[in-house]
Copies of this chain bind each other. A is one copy, B any other.
């Protein structure tokens, strides 16, 4: 990078875990200056957050529409904006900035419905602006290495895909006990029709698709609310079928007692299998047919995509912020290329975008449909 890009943020003010994570990720590789924000829908909170984050008060906005308008007119206006609001605001905020000609980096799930997602996709295409969607886990070096292994045929033909994303933080009705994160995530008005399914099910779905390069054609789903009184699902189990005949299972649960943030993927091919556990992301399991398990380590494997997504040598662990930062680095590489009117560097093209966001919404809608039909098999998308 020859310069730092100017970055703004909507949402993610004081106390929001994900806002701070976005900013740390953006800072990691020194590709951005954080210069503007509409950090809260509450004007006073927005102003305070701006002060804490050392923003120029003139660029700490109370309203995201105002921010889009003002920044678009400044000669030193932001190059890109981060959208870190609850889900129901993704579509309007993304729309405002894309229409203002500003690149967007949006949290997931992209939208409240497939329809909304498709509109955002169309707008991104129409404006020619980047709409990145932060499927953070695709930023890990070993996830990218896994994708490269599959693509190179090292697993042979894929037969089984097993992915699960297990947490326990919603095992009790914490949304009724003042947990803000839980409140909006279990509120259909702010989260949409899917709870766990949208919040983490889409992550699992995306990770499996990212690594295998395959999308399932149909599924059977059981979308369940385990905790009494909860308004959205907190447990999802599905069986997947792929066009090539492969099978899969996807499990997402926020009531899996004892689990932290257990996103785990296993892919079995005719020649070998691989396994990834997000809580130990510097490793990738690999076992050939009839062979012994190998623990591939970041820094010990050679692949263009893993080397692009790593900073430090073997045995010096990288984590979640580094994966997140990778998305920001890739976005920066793409945006800079667009600003310069040249093609994006190939190394940056694994960045997840609106296309992934749309696929996620297709999955959500199919799972809800199947579950309503007592688990009957339905097509996806």
Is A300 close to B, CB under 8 A?
A: yes
Report A148 CB to chain B, min CB distance, Å.
15
Report A281 CB to chain B, min CB distance, Å.
6
Residues facing B in A288-318 (CB within 8 A) are 288-297, 299-301, 311-318
Hey, which chain B residues are within 8 Å of A261, CB to CB? 313-316
Hey, which chain B residues are within 8 Å of A220, CB to CB? 220, 222, 239, 375
Q: With A294-B294, A297-B292, A312-B321 in contact, is A235–B247 under 8 Å at CB?
A: yes
Hey, which chain B residues are within 8 Å of A260, CB to CB? 297, 299-300, 313-315
Is A344 close to B, CB under 8 A?
A: no
Report A257 CB to chain B, min CB distance, Å.
5
1/0 contact trace for A131-174 toward B, CB 8 Å? Answer: 00000000000000000000000011001101000011101100
Q: How far is the CA of A28 from the CA of B321 in the complex (A)?
A: 10
Q: With A316-B319, A376-B376 in contact, is A270–B257 under 8 Å at CB?
A: yes
Q: With A319-B322, A321-B318 in contact, is A272–B257 under 8 Å at CB?
A: yes
Could you say which of B156, B160, B257, B290 contacts A235, with CB atoms under 8 Å apart?
Answer: B160
Q: How far is the CA of A163 from the CA of B239 in the complex (A)?
A: 15
Is B315 a contact partner of A17 (Cβ separation < 8 A)?
A: no
A269: nearest residue on chain B (CB-CB)? Answer: B257
Interface size class of A (residues with CB under 8 A): 35 or more
Report A32 CB to chain B, min CB distance, Å.
11
Q: How far is the CA of A287 from the CA of B376 in the complex (A)?
A: 34
Hey, which chain B residues are within 8 Å of A256, CB to CB? 160, 268, 273
A positions within 8 Å CB-CB of B: 3-4, 17, 20-21, 23-24, 27-30, 54, 155-156, 159-160, 162, 167-169, 171-172, 220, 222, 224, 226, 235, 237-239, 241, 245, 247, 249, 251, 253, 255-262, 268-273, 278-282, 286-297, 299-301, 311-322, 374-377
Query: Which of A235, A255, A311, A316 has the largest number of chain B CB atoms within 10 A?
Result: A316
Q: How far is the CA of A54 from the CA of B259 in the complex (A)?
A: 43
Chain A contact residues, majority secondary structure: loop
Interchain residue pairs A-B with the least CB separation, the first 8: A261-B315, A258-B287, A260-B315, A317-B319, A316-B320, A319-B319, A260-B314, A258-B273
Hey, which chain B residues are within 8 Å of A374, CB to CB? 376-377
Q: With A237-B239, A317-B317 in contact, is A21–B312 under 8 Å at CB?
A: yes
Is A315 a contact partner of B171 (Cβ separation < 8 A)?
A: no
Q: How far is the CA of A269 from the CA of B289 in the complex (A)?
A: 28
Is B300 a contact partner of A290 (Cβ separation < 8 A)?
A: yes
Hey, which chain B residues are within 8 Å of A375, CB to CB? 220, 239, 375-377
A272: nearest residue on chain B (CB-CB)? Answer: B257
Q: How far is the CA of A290 from the CA of B256 in the complex (A)?
A: 10
Q: How far is the CA of A259 from the CA of B54 in the complex (A)?
A: 43
Please, could you name 19 A-B residue pairs with CB atoms under 8 Å apart, sorted by A? Answer: A23-B30, A28-B321, A155-B257, A156-B257, A159-B235, A169-B290, A172-B289, A220-B222, A239-B239, A257-B269, A257-B287, A258-B286, A259-B287, A260-B299, A291-B300, A294-B295, A312-B319, A318-B320, A375-B377
Q: How far is the CA of A286 from the CA of B167 in the complex (A)?
A: 15
Report A280 CB to chain B, min CB distance, Å.
7
Hey, which chain B residues are within 8 Å of A167, CB to CB? 315
Is A312 a contact partner of B317 (Cβ separation < 8 A)?
A: no
